[in-house]
A and B are shown apart, each in its own frame.
Chain A
Amino acid sequence: MSARSRDVRRRLLVFAVSGAVLGTALLAGLLDLAPATSAGSDLAGLLVDAAVEQRSPNAVSGVLFDLRATDTLGEALALFAASAGLQLVLRELPGEGRRHEPRRGAPGRSVPATSDAVRAAALALVVPTAVFAVYVTFRGHLSLGGGLQAGALAVTALALVFLAGRYRAQRHFAPDRQLDVLEAVSLGGYVLVGLAGLVVAGAFLTNVLPLGALGELVSSGTILALSFLVAIEAGAAVLLIVAEVQEEPLEREEPA
């Protein structure tokens, strides 16, 4: 028996054992699972009551930005740490200079020009996507959407600019320095809203703003405020991550 087929057999053995364990665990979990739609359950009733009390018809936002607002702060911090860490790892080292001409893909590979159809379709979608991002930001407490999704949509709008072959325009609309500031200010704002709750009501992230009427655009107190701040923070963090990895092969010279 050759070394290669022994290697394959060993791998198959590892796969069989781990697959059997994972499969058993998955099956046991599936058998224990509650039905997918259980509108009549106790939990659903509690969530509806909480949504009415918070003036946030979208119960998901109510959970994310009120009941579990501390978790959401942790998630926002994780995004912040990811973008900060990537910037640290990919920073310009001494001896590395900026490339004068952007490299077109991997060396020895010619990059085909972006087709007109892709360009036109991407550019046509930029403005609707950006408007949709703003719409989703301010509807998070009323209906589907909210902070993270709105941030993701904002990233999509700028990715479309990039897809249309307008790398410089994309960097012009979203310069790193401003993104850095936006990211830090929005995350700091989240903590400040939380501290306001601590001072006024005695607990971190308590909803202290006026709640307003159920279903109004400006209602639900801090849920809307926190959703807006997370939209900015998530959008800026992901854009910074994307910009940092775009810049790496495009503009950096190998150390000599």
Chain B
Amino acid sequence: MTLARILAVLLAGVVGTAVVMTRDIVHQALVFGLFGLVLALVFLLYQAPDAALAQVVVSGLVVPLLIFVTLAELRGRSE
């Protein structure tokens, strides 16, 4: 359990850094969704499965969707 927790927190650090290092904004939204799923795993391992459930939906679905729609709209206007 403790090992899984340490690994999950380290993974969150790695994926979080990957979000910052990703230059292309569309790719960044996808990596951010992945980061949200890793965070949900951390919540799960720290005995907060209900928070993990909400995290999956908000970070894996709603936030990337908002970013994609905004990008589609902005690119539509600039062309």
Contact = CB atoms under 8 A, between A and B. Distances in A.
Contacts of A238: 57, 62
Given A246-B69, A254-B77, A145 B50 contact: yes
Given A36-B46, A60-B50, A106-B71, A245 B57 contact: no
Given A159-B61, A245-B69, A146 B50 contact: yes
Interface string A135-155: 010000000111011001101
Contacts of B58: 152
Contact of A107 (B46, B54, B79): B79
Contact of B66 (A37, A145, A149, A245): A245
B61 A155 contact: yes
Given A36-B46, A242-B62, A153 B72 contact: no
A108 interface: yes
Given A108-B79, A238-B57, A242-B65, A248 B73 contact: yes
A249 interface: yes
Interface string A53-74: 0000000100000000000000
Interface in B19-74: 46-47, 49-50, 53-54, 56-58, 61-62, 65-66, 69-73
Contacts of A149: 50, 53-54
Contacts of A159: 61
Nearest to B51: A149
A210 B55 CA distance: 33
A128 interface: no
B75 A107 contact: yes
A246 B54 CA distance: 21
Contacts, number: 61
Contacts of A202: none
A106 B69 contact: no
B50 A245 contact: no
A9 interface: no
B53 A245 contact: no
Contacts of A105: 72
B62 A241 contact: yes
Given A152-B58, A242-B62, A106 B72 contact: yes
Given A152-B58, A241-B62, A246-B69, A106 B50 contact: no
A170 interface: no
Leading 5 A-B pairs by shortest Cβ distance: A152-B57, A106-B75, A245-B69, A149-B53, A106-B72
Interface of A: 36-37, 60, 103, 105-108, 136, 144-146, 148-149, 152-153, 155-156, 159, 238, 241-242, 245-246, 248-249, 254
15 contacts: A36-B5, A36-B46, A103-B76, A107-B76, A144-B49, A145-B53, A149-B50, A152-B58, A153-B53, A155-B61, A155-B62, A241-B62, A241-B66, A246-B65, A249-B72
